[in-house]
Amino acid sequence: MKIFAVGNSFYGDDGVGAAVLEQISEAESFPGAELFDAHTDALSLLDHLAPGQLNVVVDAAEMGLPPGTVAGFRPEEVDLKIKSDHLSMHGFGLAETFAMARQLGSMPDNVLIIGVQPERVEIDQGLSPAVADAVPVVINLIKAEVQPDE
């Protein structure tokens, strides 16, 4: 299994993915899993997505839900909006990266995106309380994915 984080931990709740990876790493929650923090370079996922494995991607997601809400979904279950104004080098986001992976035929079959609704995404270190509370929820969701019977 590979677990990816996307986002900038200096932008408040955009750092939720990095916080999840840190927690997983400290608690050794998933021995053998490969952890990769893409930071703001979502395009680098193209080099790391692994076919034949479960690929979990944790990112802050604007879902129109209450802050801290956690949702797991498959890329095909949602309309990830490709934002033309995000098509700068910085803004090559997850939606654009997956679109390119599909076009290039390198999109793995087994991808789980875990979105966390942020409360505030602005320059600041640290998560808002609601999003910090969501970190263990994300980890439990990954556990449920890899150990569905427990």
Partner 1 sequence: MGANLDINVKHLTRVEGHGNIVVNMTDGVLEKAQLDIVEAPRYFEAMLKGRSFHEAAIITSRICGICSLGHQMCSLQATEDALGLEISEQTVLLRKLLTHGATLQSNVLHAYFLAAPDLLSVGSVFPLVGTHPEVVIRALRMKRLANDIGDVVSGRAVHPITPVPGGFTRIPTEQELLTIKTRLEEEMVPDFLATVDTMEALAGAIPDFTRETEYISLRNDDEYALYDGDICSSDTGRVDPHEYRRMSNEHVVSHSTSKHCKVNRSSYMVGALARWNNNHDRLCDVSLQAAERLGLKPDCYNPYMNTIAQVVEAGHCALDSVAIIDKLLAGGLKDEQPNQEPTRYGTGVGATEVPRGILYHEYTYDRQARIVAANCIIPTGQNLANIDDDMKKLVPEVVDKSKEEITLQLEMLVRAYDPCISCSVHMLDVDFIE
Residue 45 backbone dihedrals phi, psi, to 5 degrees: -60, -30
Q: Among residues 19, 45, 70, 92, which is the contact residue for partner 1, using CB under 8 A? A: 92
Q: Among residues 27, 51, 81, 140, which is the contact residue for partner 1, using CB under 8 A? A: 81
CA-based angle 8:10:14, to the nearest 5? 45
Residue 25 as a binder of partner 1 (CB under 8 A): the answer is: no
Sorted by sequence, the CB contacts under 8 Å of residue 150 that are 6+ apart come out as 143
Residue 35 as a binder of partner 1 (CB under 8 A): the answer is: no
Q: Provide the binding-site residues for partner 1, judged by CB under 8 A.
A: 6-11, 14, 37-44, 46-47, 59-63, 73, 77-95, 99-100, 103-104, 113, 115, 118, 121, 123
